[in-house]
Amino acid sequence: MALSSDTLFLLGVAVVKVVVVLLVLLTAIAYIVWLERKLVAHIQSRWGPYRVGPYGLMQPMADGLKFLFKEDIVPLEVDRFVYWLAPFLSFTLAMLTFAVIPFGGSFKLFGHEIYLQIADLNVGLLYIFAVTSLGVYSIALAGWSSNSKYPLFGGLRSSAQMISYELSLGLAVVGTLMISGSLSLRDIVNSQTGTWHLAGTNTFLPHWNIFVQPVGFIVYFIAAIAETNRIPFDLPEGETELVGGYHTEYSSFKFAMFFMAEYANMVTVSCIATLLFFGGWHGPVFGPAWLHVLLPVFWFALKVFCFLFFYIWTRGTLPRFRYDQLMAFGWKFLLPVALLNILATSFVVAWIGT
């Protein structure tokens, strides 16, 4: 059966969206690595990358070529299928989350409403949690298939850590869902339009969830740092006791895929924090019609960048927890706080509703 012209047009638009998002995302991941090396170097009074290109801006390209052409060493006793599957699974799952993340509003093109989002699912947030929760399998499989004790310890640590902190992560956003009444990321952002007027003052606050869910945001972001295995919660790859953790036996481009997946997950966490708590792409918009399309994308990118900067700043500032401290903090502090936040929010929502 022949497809209509409208269907073909929308399919073409979807393909363009996928290509643009992938290109922008992969470029961003490369330069987040450069930014992290630069910022941490300045925190530690070092230069960081500076030889390849001005200010070291061509360093990501040099690193990519090195990973592509570096010798691929595979230990003899590994489970080869699972050993190769783990990095591909990690990278693929990290990329899939961006299918539902809205990074701007919409505009008209040839009579069609084009949304700056690949797919607007009515359960977009649930989809992201489902996909990211599968990421633990890639790390556990990498540790098990390597047939080495240090990767195995790293995989086991990751399984316990990610499952523990996923509970707090999921519960932290329940208050936001109560307020917005939707699992669609676009609906959640649209529920944060407008401003609040502080009585007796000339102050106006954006109608962002961070002002009514500060506890939920703090719990979310701490749990998200643990979920992405970043300092101070990078126990699965703690080089001081596990050499390199779950990816000790990986080299060449397979190691690079784990590396890229970690930074892609950082971007995902930052995007979700922006969408759920900081109004998404909402911000001052002015000027001609094309600015009304581009400025929301700029505000969204700026907010995401602020979270990524905080990630890097944390890495250059805080030491690593002990593993028992990590688990105790998740179960004995974050989880009870997240539950209390849900209880308080439910009472407030019920009281306002009546």
Question: What is the per-residue pLDDT across 196-248, written as a single tens digit (0 to 9) for each?
Answer: 766 667 667 888 999 889 999 999 999 988 888 787 887 766 666 666 677 78
Residue 163 lies in a domain: yes
Nearest CA to 204 out of 190, 213, 215, 194 is that of 194
Residue 44 lies in a domain: no
pLDDT at position 3 is: 66
Instruction: Give the integer Cα–Cα distance in Å for 220 and 313.
Output: 18
3-state secondary structure of 64: helix
Residue 53 lies in a domain: no
Contacts 24+ apart (CB under 8 A), 303-311: 303/270, 303/274, 303/278, 304/267, 304/270, 304/271, 304/274, 305/270, 307/221, 307/269, 307/270, 307/273, 307/274, 308/32, 308/35, 308/266, 308/267, 308/270, 309/39, 311/225, 311/230, 311/266, 311/270
State residue 283 phi and psi, 5-degree precision.
180, 180
Residue 305 lies in a domain: yes
pLDDT at position 156 is: 81
pLDDT at position 215 is: 93
pLDDT at position 343 is: 92
Instruction: Give the integer Cα–Cα distance in Å for 256 and 49.
Output: 18
Single pTM value for the model = 0.90
Residue 218 lies in a domain: yes
pLDDT at position 218 is: 93
Number of structural domains, the chain? Answer: 1
pLDDT at position 339 is: 93
The b-or-e profile of 335-344 (16+ CB within 10 A means b, else e) is: bebbeebbee
Residue 208 lies in a domain: yes
Q: Which domain holds residue 279?
A: 74-353
Residue 11 lies in a domain: no
**Secondary element (H or E) of residue 311:** helix 289-315
pLDDT at position 240 is: 64
Residue 14 lies in a domain: no
- pLDDT < 50 stretches in the chain: none
Nearest CA to 311 out of 26, 94, 97, 33 is that of 33
Contact between residue 212 and residue 192 where contact means Cβ atoms under 8 Å apart: no
Instruction: Give the integer Cα–Cα distance in Å for 168 and 335.
Output: 5
